[in-house]
């Protein structure tokens, strides 16, 4: 792991300008739980590392009078878990944060880092010149693809590893990005890029761009939300399949809401038609729920070793509905 210097910018503008240097490969370090591994394994090369620890203005959780919630990008995962307001009003976010890694890593890892982490594909992380690293082959397609995507894959078949992203997207969250001296805000759902659009990138971020905050709009008082994560190991692990749900019910019927999957696609999986069909679904009607779950996963296109994920998607929908009412 070699690089020229370890830089501590004192302002967001200075960090962005340094990061944007076209003649050098410079990377941001927040918690470092992903970046350091990428550097140690020579998956990425860096000229300089920018540590953001002194940018205290990016570390906060603020509840606004309007009811919206703003979270700075350098807020730790543990701070999300320990925040009483989030635990009481945003169960889906609290549950997602609680299931990230280990307590030690949650103390270090940040919200921005979790949203921007690179894929965990064995070929991308291994000694393979795969498509995402500039090669001409996605080795997962014909190789060991047990953990790869079954939705929106091709020509690369990674899955997005974030736990926070599905939860936040289900809440209609927005992400702010500092770029060229100005800050822009976009729906978090639009922050991610599918391989069909650009197989070398996972997000819209360009050189010099820095994620600064997450904004969650005010939610209905009767919001019901939950996050279910299926892992291969009982100890901390990345999701085989996860599901975030934010719903509003009238009795047992859904009047508003969204389901967002993790672990099944290169970006958090949001089905426009599937979420439209949520409206009016009666959670007392088991047959209707079964039909909804089957329709939600009908576009799955498994590889040779991961067809089990489609079955898990269907079953996790049914499980979540039974637990949320």
**Domain presence at residue 63:** yes
**Domain presence at residue 36:** no
Shared domain for 211 and 314, answered yes or no, is: no
Number of structural domains the chain divides into = 2
Shared domain for 190 and 302, answered yes or no, is: no
What pLDDT was estimated at residue 1?
65
Structure tokens at 246: 């934010």
Buried b (16+ CB within 10 A) or exposed e, 15-47: bbebbbeeeeebbbbbbbbbbebbbeeeeeebe
Tell me which DSSP letter residue 142 carries: T
The CA-atom distances, in angstroms, between 112 and each of 127, 137, 263, 286, 321 are 27, 30, 19, 39, 30
Other CB atoms within 10 Å distance of the CB of residue 53: 13
Shared domain for 272 and 206, answered yes or no, is: no
**Domain presence at residue 81:** yes
Structure tokens at 57: 């203005």
Q: Is the pLDDT of residue 3 over 80?
A: no
Shared domain for 165 and 256, answered yes or no, is: no
Q: Report the candidate in 110, 103, 102, 99 with the shortest Cα–Cα distance to residue 31.
A: 110
Shared domain for 171 and 309, answered yes or no, is: no
Shared domain for 266 and 207, answered yes or no, is: no
Q: Dmax of the chain from CA atoms?
A: 62
CATH number of the domain at 289, please. Answer: 3.30.390.50
Q: Report the candidate in 73, 80, 105 with the shortest Cα–Cα distance to residue 209.
A: 73
Q: Is the pTM for the entire model greater than 0.95?
A: yes
d(CA 73, CA 61): 10
Mean pLDDT of 146-175: 98
Q: Where in the sequence is the domain holding 281, given as residue range(s)? A: 224-324
pLDDT digits (tens, 9 = 90+) for 274-315: 999 999 999 999 999 999 999 999 999 999 999 999 999 999
**Domain presence at residue 1:** no
**Domain presence at residue 129:** no
What pLDDT was estimated at residue 121?
97
Is residue 30 a contact partner of residue 73, using CB atoms and an 8 Å limit? Answer: yes
What pLDDT was estimated at residue 129?
96
CATH number of the domain at 175, please. Answer: 3.30.465.10
Shared domain for 201 and 272, answered yes or no, is: no
- Choosing from 173, 193, 216, the residue where a domain stops is 216
pLDDT digits (tens, 9 = 90+) for 208-234: 999 999 999 999 999 999 999 999 987
Q: For the chain, how many helices (H) and strands (E)?
A: 12, 11
* Sign of the torsion formed by the C-alpha atoms of 17, 184, 191 and 77: positive
**Domain presence at residue 239:** yes
């Amino acid at each position: 792991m070699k690089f020229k210097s370890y830089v501590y910018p004192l302002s967001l503008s200075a960090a962005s300008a340094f990061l944007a240097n076209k003649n050098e490969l410079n990377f941001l370090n927040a918690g470092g739980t992903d970046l350091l591994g990428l550097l140690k394994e020579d998956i990425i090369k860096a000229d300089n590392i920018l540590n953001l620890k002194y940018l205290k203005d990016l570390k906060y959780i603020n509840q606004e009078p309007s009811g919206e919630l703003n979270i700075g990008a350098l807020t730790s995962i543990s701070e999300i878990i320990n925040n009483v307001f989030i635990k009481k009003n945003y169960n889906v976010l609290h549950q997602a944060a609680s299931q990230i890694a280990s307590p030690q890593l949650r103390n270090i890892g940040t919200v921005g880092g979790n949203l921007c982490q690179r894929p965990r594909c064995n070929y991308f992380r291994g000694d393979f010149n795969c498509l995402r690293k500039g090669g001409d082959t996605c080795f997962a397609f014909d190789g060991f693809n047990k953990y790869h995507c079954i939705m929106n894959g091709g020509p690369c078949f990674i899955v997005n590893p974030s736990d926070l992203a599905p939860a936040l997207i289900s809440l209609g969250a927005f992400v702010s990005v500092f770029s060229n001296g100005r800050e822009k805000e976009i729906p978090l759902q639009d922050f991610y890029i599918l391989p069909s659009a650009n197989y070398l990138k996972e997000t819209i971020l360009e050189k010099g761009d820095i994620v600064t905050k997450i904004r969650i709009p005010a939610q209905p008082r009767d919001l019901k939300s939950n996050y279910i994560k299926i892992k291969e190991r009982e100890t901390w692990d990345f999701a085989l399949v996860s599901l975030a749900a934010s719903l509003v019910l009238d009795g047992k019927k859904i009047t508003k809401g969204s389901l967002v999957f993790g672990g099944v696609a290169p970006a958090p999986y949001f089905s426009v038609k599937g979420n439209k069909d949520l409206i009016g679904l009666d959670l007392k009607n088991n047959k209707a729920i079964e039909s909804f779950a089957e329709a939600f996963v009908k576009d799955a296109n498994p590889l040779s070793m991961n067809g089990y994920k489609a079955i898990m998607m269907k079953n996790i929908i049914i499980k979540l509905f039974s637990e949320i009412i």
